[in-house]
Structure 1
């Protein structure tokens, strides 16, 4: 398959370009079943390693140092189960297919993966609940309350010509049909894997048949809206994924919230962390870093601020 989705990649690229422009700096595989699309530019390499071309993530820059820190008090699986308990307590949002899932987040991004200044922007994104329309978004530097850019439509790019936008619509952003039992959810995700848009010649059977594939699909669901009981099942499922570890010590996200970070397995050339509130264990966002010559540096980070259901792009809850 020659196409791959560029919604999240384009969103992050547009956000970074908007911030750089405002600052006055120079701007820098074939499906085998019904699949949802991989978020934020994730790709696969080899038999299954997630070769991340890094994404929007969730911790402040000062938390990225790898120094001596106290050991974590809970395992990754324990934190995921606490996150599942927190998810069950959240109010449920209901959406019709013609409505939109609205998300607002703070994003700390860097012009290049391992160099350049960090800048924080606010983004507002409208995704079609039923997958009936293209994603729309707008951005502003966090220190400019009146600096919102124009609302713009985001379309996927053609892999053969990244400058050309395609008319292909995104998958639904409202995941209301997910099972609420972890075992049933595991079966569902095996039957409905995330579409990884593998390169020509890739062994689809080996990749999509890998035991880690359902976990990659589960992570991708966090990009839209998952109702509370299904979200709890998703976190309980991620608690079973081998290889996840807790980053020692407290972290602070871009919104100043104290958190605990879980480093997810299988990433090549960098790290992808999930961040949860230190006290309530509510999901806060993600962070992504690159590793070069043994040195880790933050590339991008997001802090999820709010999620709502609205009737049209541009409408605020």
Structure 2
């Protein structure tokens, strides 16, 4: 026992991220009611899809046809459907397992992410550009934040850009619209509003309410940090949006295997990417559907649309002040 106690003291405890991923893997191995199955199951459902499935066809309902092997030796092979709802429901459950950051109004949320753009963002071996973004945002939005990235043409140096909302009035209320604390307070109302718009009759035959119902929450998840409980609510809301495509053979900007859920917004395909094994949210990607930019130098991010842009979050934490 003494040796075991010494070993315990010498080994560092696992990080919250490792614990969350372990819980996620356990979740995928259990039934929907959370209980272990004591009998051999004929099919392993979404877990088998995540480990061995191959994408066949993305349907308008957002389902992917997967061949699943029966547990009986020599048993028949049958088609199983993996839907966007399945992925988003599990992603919501995984999100709720993550620890929540709770900044004070006078503290800052620090987010480190990586942007990748150009054909190489989705096509290995093609030209691409990338840079790391560091963002400090005041929790209540009462003072400007800061964006720090590598300088164009001088990648070894960093350049700082103040994050100022020039459209905001001088005497705007606190928390400021768009800030972290404002989003935490208003997101449940926004989800209800988007849900009402989704369920209401379309104002015209050419209007698709599901596009806005996907686009607005997508941008919210794409842009910054949301508390796990609210991110889970967003995923559960998106599970009810019709016409979401599923691509189980996607990769995130870091090359990690994932499941991409996407919907077309006019000339832009907006994707959310989840880990193929744990269903943890990895990042997002925008793919142009119209004419693509004809650019040979991808070291600088082009202005406007017409090129692939992917983003993945690398780190989020709470800090007391802006960097000097």
Answer yes or no: same fold by TM over 0.5.
Answer: yes
**Residue of structure 2 equivalent to 1:149:** 158
Which has the larger displacement, 276-285 or 252-261? 252-261
Asked if the contact 1:103/1:304 (under 8 Å) is kept, the reply is yes
Of the three residues 187, 191, 212, the one matched with 1:186 is: 191
**Residue of structure 1 equivalent to 2:132:** 122
**Could you say which structure has the higher helix fraction?**
2
The Cα of 1:224 is off from its aligned counterpart by 3.0
- In the alignment, does 2:322 pair up with 1:302? no
Unaligned runs of 5+ in 2: 1-53, 58-63, 67-81, 198-202, 294-305
Q: State TM-score, norm by structure 1.
A: 0.57
Cα gap change, 1:272 to 1:258, in 2 (>3 Å): same
Of the three residues 45, 59, 83, the one matched with 1:75 is: 83
1:23-38 to 2 correspondences below 5 Å: none
Structure 2 counterpart SS, 1:292: coil
**Residue of structure 2 equivalent to 1:107:** 115
The Cα of 1:93 is off from its aligned counterpart by 0.6
Structure 1 counterpart SS, 2:89: helix
1:274-285 to 2 correspondences below 5 Å: 274-285=272-283
- In the alignment, does 2:99 pair up with 1:91? yes
Cα gap change, 1:135 to 1:243, in 2 (>3 Å): farther
Distance 2:278 2:108 in 1: 27
Cα gap change, 1:80 to 1:150, in 2 (>3 Å): same
Q: Deviations over 1:75-106 (max 9, x none)?
A: 11111111101101100110112211211111
Q: Deviations over 1:12-45 (max 9, x none)?
A: xxxxxxxxxxxxxxxxxxxxxxxxxxxxxxxxxx
Unaligned runs of 5+ in 1: 1-67, 159-164, 193-204
The Cα of 1:286 is off from its aligned counterpart by 0.8
